[in-house]
Amino acid sequence: MVDAFAYVPAVVLLPFFSFLVALGAGKYLPKGGAFGGIAATAGSFLLSLWIAATVAGGRAYDETLYTWAAGDQFELTFGALVDPLSALMLVIVTLVALLVHVFSLGYMNDEGETGLPRYYAGLGLFTASMLGFVVADNLLMAFMFFELVGLCSYLLIGFHFREPGPPSAAKKAFLVTRFGDYFFLVGVVAVFATFGTAAFAGEGSFPALAEAALAGDQAVWTPGGLDVMTWFTVVGLLVLGGVVGKSAQFPLHTWLPDAMEGPTPVSALIHAATMVAAGVYLVARMYGFYALTPTTLAVIAFIGGFTALFAATMGVVKDELKQVLAYSTISQYGYMMLALGAGGYVAAVFHLTTHAFFKALLFLGAGSVIIAMHHNEDMWDMGGLKARMPVTYYTFLAGSLALAGIFPFAGFWSKDEILYEALVHGLNEPLLLGGYVMGLLAVPVTAFYTFRMVFLTFHGEPRTDLAADPEPVRWNVKGPLTVLGSLAVVTGFINMVPVQKVLGLEGIDYLHRWLDNEWGGIDGLSSHHYADLGPYSSGYIAGGEVPTVLVGAAVSLGLALAGLGLAWRLYNVASPTEHTAKLGGIKDVLYNNYYLDELQVWIAYRTEDIAGGADTFDQGIIDGVVNGVSSVSLAGGSRVRRIQTGLVSQYAAMLTLGLIALLVLIGVNGGWFL
Amino acid sequence: MILEALIGFTFLAALLVLLAPNAWAGRLAFALSTVPFVGSLYLWSRFDAVGNALTGGTIAFESRYEWVEVGGRTVSWFVGLDGISLPLVVLTTFLVPLAILSAWTPVDTRQSQFYGLMLFMEANLLGVFTALDFFLWFVFWEAVLVPMYFLIGVWGGPRRKYAAIKFFVYTNAASLLMFIGFMSLTFALGDSIGSLALPEITQAIADGGLETWFGISPGRIAMVAFLATFAGFAVKVPIVPFHTWLPDAHVEAPTPVSVLLAGVLLKMGTYALLRFNFTMLPEQASALAVPIAAIAVISVIYGAMLALAQKDLKRIVAYSSVSSMGYVILGLVVFTEYGVGGATFQMVAHGLISGLMFMAVGVVYNATHTRMVGDMAGMADRMPVTVGILVAGAFGYMGLPLMAGFAGEFFIFVGAFGAPSLPYAPVFTALAMFGIVIVAGYLLSAMQKTLFGPFRLETDYEIGRAPFHDVAPLAVLLAAIVVLGVAPDLFFEMIRDAAMPVVEGVSVDV
Amino acid sequence: MSNALPAWSALSPALLLGLTGLALLLVDTIRPNERSNTSMALVSALGALASLSVTVWFVVAGTGHADTGGAITLLEGAVKVDTLALFFTAIFASVTALVVVAAHDYFHDHANPAAFYSLTLFAATGMALLAVANSLAVVFVALEMVSLPSYALVAFLKKDRGSVEAGLKYFLVGALSSAVFLFGISLVYAATGSLIFGEVASGIESLGSLAGVAGIGIVMIVGGVAFKTASVPFHFWAPEAYEGAPAPVSAFLSSASKAAGFVVAFRVFTEAFPLGASLAAGIDWALAFAVVAAVTMTLGNFAAAVQEEVKRMLAYSSIGHAGYALIGLAALSSGSAGNEAVMGAAMAHLLVYGFMNTGAFLFVALAERWGIGRTFEDYAGLARRAPVACTAMAVFMFSLAGLPPFAGFFSKYFLFMGAIENGFLWLAGLGAVNSVISLYYYSRVVRAMFLDDPATPSALDAIDVRPTALYAAVVFAAVATVLLLPGFGPVIEAAEAAAEGVIAASGSF
Amino acid sequence: MAAVAASIPPQWYLLLAAGVFCIGLFGILTRSDALYFLMSVELMMNAANINFVAFSLYYGDLTGQVFALFVIALAAAEVAIGIGIILVLYRNFGDIDVTVPTEMRW
């Protein structure tokens, strides 16, 4: 049979070609090149499935495909690494991309947007970069595509460049993530300097070398003879900078809500399902390195937990549909970070998977609502859409249940596992426990704002004429919604750990076994290996594993239901009203996102002030000196010329004096007068 | 012989264009200027040099005729190429035709003189990059000033005379300082050299040929020579604090001249630094590594901060050139394969990218007759293609992967971070790298203000679509940038080959 | 080659010049009332060119060169023909040719131009004689032979106040200087008992108690040289003389006459006062020259930087260049290998200077012929009306500033190289600073001609004629200035040979 | 005669010459009248002549004396030129005061 892995580059290149086609010939093609993109992503999706199947068939793939720079000091290469993790990610990305392309037909074409070739070119390039990032086999390549992903998000967020908002949002998105990427790049360079390679997998890979170095049987370069452990922690944190930026973790999360300026499908694809996932995916990709440094893990966990709670609280008071979803995205990625920090590698990937589906679903649902509402996003103008757009409603509901973590929807399983991991490992780790507590507190908040959103949008009476008579949506909107809706319901079942633990049914934790290379994979990249490397030991409450599982699940589910109930109580009425007043002073803080944007704006302005000062200094002092030299010498010149008085007898006098001076000089020097 | 043909042809072309009528001087100049480019491609295809021309590597297309003998030193016509000079020759011959194309629109007076001077400058630039005899090199080095003086002074902006004279006098003063420093070095070599051929001088210094000279110890002579030449070249590069002539020159110069100024003339300085300071006097270079790295970092950050403060698009790009040159200096001083090689590669990359930026800004200027950030907004609405390329170029400047700029900068960073010969290398590198954030900051905000948002233009000009001969060079440059970004080894391979001897030259001392 | 001819024929360059002068007088006396400006110019140009060609032939044939039987001495050793002499004779002859050709148009409406040509030729003869002088007596006579016509030439425009004032100042300072010079000679004679260089040199080696006398004498001779070369402190005449005199005369004085001063210096101070011996006697004339050179170049350049009139700027710049050329004597150090190089470079610089500076002054002559003003502003936009001449002027300016691809670049940088080689870093450094300043004011001219716009549209309407001869002279000078860069090899080699000759003749230098 | 001359030590001649020279110089520095100027220059030249004659006697060779004759002739020529210039000076400036013409300065 043909080797599926031979087509790994094709997976990346197909969308790239669709980018070229849309860019070059888009305006001559029907639908502005949409079909090209659909075909390409569909192709990539099928190939990804095939590749995943091949991996399931017990094989993996790690090849260097192209040498970028063949130095003796370092060899900089591109390659493909296909193991269970990347295979899974490939499927997710291509599927969501495909659905988003289809949905765009409804959202962009049917709405008569202009500049569609640019749009589909952007989508294509984005998909290509993301896939390139997923299959990257070394840190440098990962960084490169990571950056390209950033470029695409810039282009797509700023798609409506004629309006003032989007360009600014795009700038902010790129700039903030660029700030994170700076640390990432330093990390990449540091990895090269330390290990001489940046490969993810294999004997010579840098996680393996790091492991050996810590074991003491491998010498590595460290700056100024720094202790190896400390240095690795530093490197890990540096790379983490990029993660925090891309995955919109505190304090670099501020770009994501603004990024909602982009077209909704873009938000679905980039700011929910895939690009933001890149950060988390990166940590998972090089988890073998992070697992070695407890400090880094603890930091990751704490950032994650904090972000989860922090973002959720802000989501409570937002009035616009997509804003709520934006903050929920940030919060959910906080959970994944918490999981990774807590040593819950599988849990993180699990939540990544489920979240990709239900968040894409929610965004597309929101998109459908926005179409219906003629691009009015304010939830207070909606209401009662349930009856008028049932498909959207039920799929959206499924997504919301998943997001809120209600049994048995996808989100419940993944979130529950995360919290469980955090708990059992956190019992001996105070920092981690803090993360767990915050994650737990975020659960009811999440449930609350999710259903506040649902009720305000779909339930009650229509609060405007628009809502009373929404514009119908077509198959190209409903189709993707249906697919994702069903996925949001079922994805959870790929990894029913609690069930397995409680009922003792072996082997239904498919994802665990998948990521544990049970069907095949690459040594050193298995969840078991990571667990062995990890610093954590499990502790249990209420005596034993099973009770812990049950208690944990029960608590989180209870909290979720509580939040849901509160939302029901406040907003599931005919004509709901603002209750934010009850929050008192906190309300403003939440409305203003804890004034973090203001802080960053302030920093930006101060930087510009410094720049202005530098400019003044440059023009005044440095250039002043340069010009000063010339004016001084010219002044000297006009002094000198005054010697020429025009009076010939004075010439005679000066001539004589000069001669005498010369005589004296030479005479004294030669000692004639002695 | 072929190099003589290349340079000679360019001189003849300059003469021919000078005599041509203004009406079609531009077309003629473009047609003629493609010939050297083809020639340099031929050179590239036949390139067979190994190692570094100065450290006894085999020199490609070498040819040498004695010219003058003075003070027991023969001055000869001695030209040749190695892995460091060839990319720069190709860069020069590649940029000049594009610059000439981009001049068709803005230059509307005394065209034949303009294009003649452009070609005359190209010829001298080729001389600078091919000459292997100090005096010959210096002749070309100085001769570049003359056409530049006229190009800025005659066709420049409102303050063109000030800018021209400032550039002229400042850089010439620097050359004289450099000349004296280097001459004293050659005379301190005494009889160990019989000519001013750079390879011979390099060898002599490496073999410890320096003698005590008028009571000055060899070590001090070398150090003085290093400082003098370094300061001399620092003006050309330019390195902070010798950079103030650059923004003035750039702002006043017409677009095509800015393209060559940023694209090639600045590289003369870094090229000379690499050839003279870091290849001939590696001991002094590594002795002064920390201060040099410090000013490199200062150039990067300070230049970027200045760019952040500017309102004139050209000034922004000009200051960002100062910043980018700082990377090159950092790469040179660390004496690693990727450092020195990356620095050389960055010369080419920055040549292309800054050229593209200046050209694109020029095209916008042709349409709007303003370069002030405040005067326009939403240009993307009126000139989509140009703006598209401008955005692409800007991202190239920010070091977007798979574009040449990233390759150059990453090579430098990865080469510098763990450099053994430079103390605190990681700190310096990390500090310098922060430039990539600031550059994104000012370029993005400048683009947001001028290119995007609702269309608005203060000057009352009707914006037509830019003519093909304005946009074509932009596209070509962009293509070249991407190609080099995807396949840097096109040049980087030969550059590494030529850079390794330099690195080893110091690694024995460290 | 030279032994095929009678020995006296070695003097033929000088003789040719002198005879041409006499011929001119003859023509003028035979047909006094015929204003044959053209024929005069033609005759004198032919004479100058004839002498030039003979000189070049001699140089090529190696007359007086060590390889061909060494220098030819005549008249009991009072006169000596060697490469140095021939080299400088070439300079004088070519400058004379340029000047007389240019004068043809400059004096097109002058009452009686005839005297100009004969005076110029006689002055040139004197210079040629200076070049071959081997005795202080001959030096002084020849020097006066150069000076006296020059005074008359400067004051040639009898009705022009400027010309007269210039002539007066030139004459007064000149008379004083020649008196000083003469007294210096007398003291040297007193100390050494001879006027023939060789014998003076041996006298210097055994001075005893008379060292002081000889020292004062030598410094006074330095003064005399300083006058001819327009160096501080004897430079005061130069700005006025060059500004007031007719432009061709300024060209002649600032190039040829200056060179004449240098040939004396080079020969006297190497052959009559060898550095080694002088130092032994405590007479460090090299130091004297170093001081003079430093002050001269600085004063000249700084003053030139702030002038309003192009002609006066050129006057000061020629003072500055005298300072550069003096490096050739100042940077000599006893027994150093670099002496030939630096002195040769100075000679080469004088040759190149002969072309570029003459050309520059002739351009000014052209401007005066056109009747446009003398200030920089008056030159504004000139390039539009007279592109060829202005390009030539730009060539002169950049070449004077020492920029490639012009000959001035080579000569100046070889001069600095020589200074550095002999360890005079400070002189080279000072020279560098000065040439940066010079770059500023030279480029002012170019800027005015090419960059600036005319003050009024009608400002340049005066330019209605194309004086052929002037153009020819200017363009020829420009071409020479350019071609001397690639062709610098033979020049510098001849110059070094000349320097080697005199230094060798001085025996222990 | 020669004996007398020979019996006088040469330093005296030097001093005499120096004296005469300084008188001439003094005249030049103090007088602004062109004719005085000429005469003073004459004095200075003759001071040199004194040296030549005296030391040609002292060394017993004729070069000095012959040269002195040359100098006298040259001085005459110089005066001729000088008078000529002073003449045109008078014509243009109406005065032979050398401090009058100061149109060209700086």
Q: Is A655 on the interface with C (CB under 8 A)?
A: yes
Choose among B139, B149, B184: nearest Cβ to C409: B139
In this prediction, residue B508 has a pLDDT band, given cuts at 50, 70 and 90, of very low
pLDDT-above-90 percentage for chain C: 62
Instruction: Inspect the interface and report whether the beta carbons of C436 and B172 lie closer than 8 Å.
Output: yes
Cβ <8 Å between A630 and B169 = yes
- Which residue type is seen at B28? L
Closest Cβ opposite residue A185 in set B306, B407, B433:
B433
Q: Which residues contact B303 (CB under 8 A, 6 or more apart)?
A: B240, B243, B319, B320, B321, B322, B323, B324, B325, B326
Which residues of chain C are within 8 Å of residue D93 when distances are taken between CB atoms? 161, 164-165
Q: What SS3 class is residue B313?
A: helix
Q: Residue A125: its pLDDT value, please?
A: 92
- The CB density around residue B467, as the number of other CB atoms within 10 Å, is 12
pLDDT of residue B142: 92
Contacts of C435 in chain B (CB under 8 A): 176
Residue found by looking up tokens 């009425």 in the block: A573
Q: Which domains does chain D have, with CATH numbers?
A: 8-93 (1.10.287.3510)
Contact B116, B14 (CB under 8 A): yes
Give, to the nearest 10 degrees, the angle between helix A475-490 and helix A84-104: 150
Spatial separation of the C-alpha atoms in residues A56 and A517, rounded to whole Å: 9
Check residue C34 and give its pLDDT.
63
Q: Which of A638, A641, A644, A647 to mutate to test the interface with D (most CBs of D within 10 A)?
A: A647
Any idea what the Cα angle at residue C231 is, between residues C228 and C236, rounded to 5°? Answer: 90
Which residues, 6 or more positions from A311, have their beta carbon under 8 angstroms from its beta carbon?
A: A250, A253, A327, A328, A330, A331, A334
Residues of chain B contacting C426 with CB distance shorter than 8 Å: none
Please name the residues between 5 and 64 in chain D that touch chain C, using a CB distance below 8 Å: 10, 13-14, 17, 21, 24, 28, 34, 37-38, 41, 44-45, 47-52, 54-56, 58-59, 61, 63-64
CB contact, 8 Å: B145 with chain C?
Answer: yes
For chain D, the farthest-separated pair of C-alpha atoms sits apart, in whole angstroms, at: 56
Check C175 against D49: CB less than 8 A apart: no
pLDDT tens-digit series, residues A48-69: 999 999 888 888 888 899 999 9
Report the pLDDT averaged over residues C111-123: 89
B66 neighbors B76 (Cβ within 8 angstroms): yes
Chain D residues touching C311 at Cβ < 8 A:
none
Which chains are adjacent to chain A, needing at least 3 Cβ pairs under 8 Å? B, C, D
Distance CA B502, CA B53 (A): 10
Q: What is the 3-state secondary structure (H, E, C) of B367-412?
A: HHCCCEHHHEECHHHHCHHHHHHHHHHHHHHCCCCCCHHHHHHHHH
- A147 lies within 8 A of chain B by CB: yes
> Whole-angstrom Cα distance, residue C258 to residue C252?
9
In the DSSP assignment, the letter for residue B46 is T
DSSP A378: B
> Do D29 and A652 count as a contact with CB atoms less than 8 A apart?
yes
Residues in C closer than 8 angstroms to D45, CB to CB, are: 179, 182
In our burial notation (b when 16+ CB lie closer than 10 A, e otherwise), range C356-377 reads: bbbbbbbbbbbbbbbebbbbbe
B67 touches chain C (CB under 8 A): yes
A656: closest chain C residue by CA: C233
Interchain CB contacts (distance < 8 Å): A and D: 27
Strand segments, DSSP code E, in A205-301 are none
Task: Give the confidence band of C33 by pLDDT, cuts at 50, 70, 90.
Answer: low
Count CA atoms within 13 Å of residue B403 on its CB side: 24
Strands A75-82 and B60-70: unpaired
Contacts with A653 from chain D: Cβ below 8 Å: 29
Distance to chain C for A654, nearest Cα, Å: 7
Residues of chain A numbered 292-331 and touching chain C (CB < 8 Å): none
Model pLDDT, residue B476? 94
Q: For chain D, list the contacting chains (3+ Cβ pairs, <8 Å).
A: A, C
Q: Which of B11, B70, B162, B180 to mutate to test the interface with C (most CBs of C within 10 A)?
A: B70
pTM above 0.80, yes or no: yes
Q: How far is B227 from chain C (nearest CA, A)?
A: 15
At residue D54's C-alpha, the angle toward residues D52 and D60, to 5°, is 95
- A29-63 as b/e: b if 16+ CB within 10 A: bebbbbbbbbbbbbbbbebbbebbebbeeebbbbe
Question: What pLDDT is recorded for position D6?
Answer: 60
Spell out the domain ranges in chain C. 2-505
Please name the helix (run of DSSP H) or strand (run of DSSP E) that holds residue B248, with its range, or none: helix B245-252
Q: State how far the Cα of A328 lies from the Cα of C169, in Å rounded to an integer.
A: 96
Contact residues for B323 (Cβ-Cβ < 8 A; gap 6+): B299, B300, B301, B302, B303, B304, B307, B435, B438, B439
pLDDT for residue C130: 94
| pLDDT-above-90 percentage for chain B | 72
Which residues in chain C have Cβ-Cβ distances shorter than 8 Å to B67?
A: 488-489
Residues of chain C positioned with their CB less than 8 A from the CB of D46? none
Could you say which residues from 617 to 636 on chain A have a Cβ atom under 8 Å away from some Cβ of chain B? 618, 622-623, 626, 630
Q: What is the mean pLDDT of residues B448-457?
A: 88
Q: Which of A644, A652, A653 sits opposite D106 (nearest CB)?
A: A644
How far B275 CA sits from the closest chain A CA (Å)? Answer: 21
* B315/chain C closest Cα distance in angstroms: 23
User: What tens digit of pLDDT does each residue of C57-85 get?
Assistant: 988 888 877 777 778 888 888 899 988 99
Q: How many helices (H) and strands (E) does chain A have?
A: 29, 2
Beta-bridge mates of residue C135: C196
Strand partners, B65: B77
* C154 vs C173: CA distance, rounded Å: 13
Query: Which residue in chain B is spatially nearest to C411 when comparing CA positions?
Result: B70
Residues linked to residue A61 through DSSP beta bridges, in sequence order: A82
Q: With 70 as the cut, is the pLDDT of residue C2 above it? A: no
Give the mutation candidate from A629, A640, A664, A668 for the C interface (greatest C CB count, under 10 A).
A640
Give, as one character, the DSSP assignment of residue C81.
E
In whole angstroms, what is the distance from residue B52 CA to residue B275 CA? Answer: 10
Task: Return d(Cα C153, Cα C254) in angstroms, integer.
Answer: 13
Under a CB-based contact definition with an 8 Å cutoff, are residues A435 and A341 in contact? yes
Q: What is the ipTM of this complex?
A: 0.90
Find the helix or strand (DSSP H, E) in which A66 lies.
strand A61-70
CA D28 to chain centre: 11
Give B66-116 pLDDT, tens digit per residue: 888 877 788 899 999 999 999 999 999 999 999 999 999 899 888 999 999
- pLDDT recorded at residue A192: 93
pLDDT digits (tens, 9 = 90+) for D15-33: 999 999 999 999 999 988 9
pLDDT band for D3, please (50, 70, 90 cuts): low
Per residue in B231-284, pLDDT tens?
999 999 999 889 999 999 999 999 999 999 999 999 999 999 999 999 999 989
CA–CA gap between residue C27 and residue C30 (Å, rounded): 5
> Closest to D99 (Cβ–Cβ): which among A642, A649, A656?
A649
All residue ranges of chain A with pLDDT < 70 are 1, 674
The whole-angstrom separation of Cα B488 and Cα B414 is 15
Question: How many CB atoms sit inside 10 A of residue B472's CB?
Answer: 14
Strands B73-81 and B60-70: antiparallel
Give the residue extent of every domain in chain B. Answer: 2-504
Q: CA-CA distance, B284 to B269, in Å (whole number)?
A: 18
**What is the C-alpha separation between C44 and C22, in angstroms, rounded?**
10
- Chain D residues with CB-CB distance to A under 8 A? 25, 28-29, 31-32, 98-99, 101-106
Categorize the per-residue pLDDT at D1 as very low, low, confident or very high, splitting at 50, 70 and 90.
very low
C137 and D70 in contact by Cβ < 8 A?
A: yes
A517 backbone φψ class: left, alpha, beta (φ>0; ψ -120 to 50)? left
**Degrees, nearest 5: CA angle B425-B429-B434:** 155
| Contact assignment for D51 to C183 by CB distance below 8 Å | yes
- Residue among A330, A396, A387 nearest A367 (CA): A396
The b-or-e profile of A568-591 (16+ CB within 10 A means b, else e) is bebbbeeebeeeeeeeeeebeebe
Distance between alpha carbon C217 and the CA centroid of its chain, in Å? 24
- Gap between the Cα atoms of C444 and C310, Å rounded: 9
C376 touches chain B (CB under 8 A): no
DSSP string, C266-322: HHIIIIIS-HHHHHHTT--HHHHHHHHHHHHHHHHHHHHHT-SBHHHHHHHHHHHHH
Question: What pLDDT digit, counting tens, does each position of A653-674 carry?
Answer: 999 999 999 999 999 988 887 6
- DSSP single-letter state for residue A380: G
Mean pLDDT of chain C: 90
- Choose the mutation target among D23, D63, D106 for the interface with C, i.e. most C CBs under 10 Å: D63
Chains B and A touch (3+ CB pairs under 8 A): yes
Separation of alpha carbons C368 and A42, rounded Å: 85
Burial tier of A221 (Cβ tally within 10 Å: 0-12, 13-18, 19+): middle
Note whether A touches C: 3 CB pairs or more under 8 A.
Answer: yes
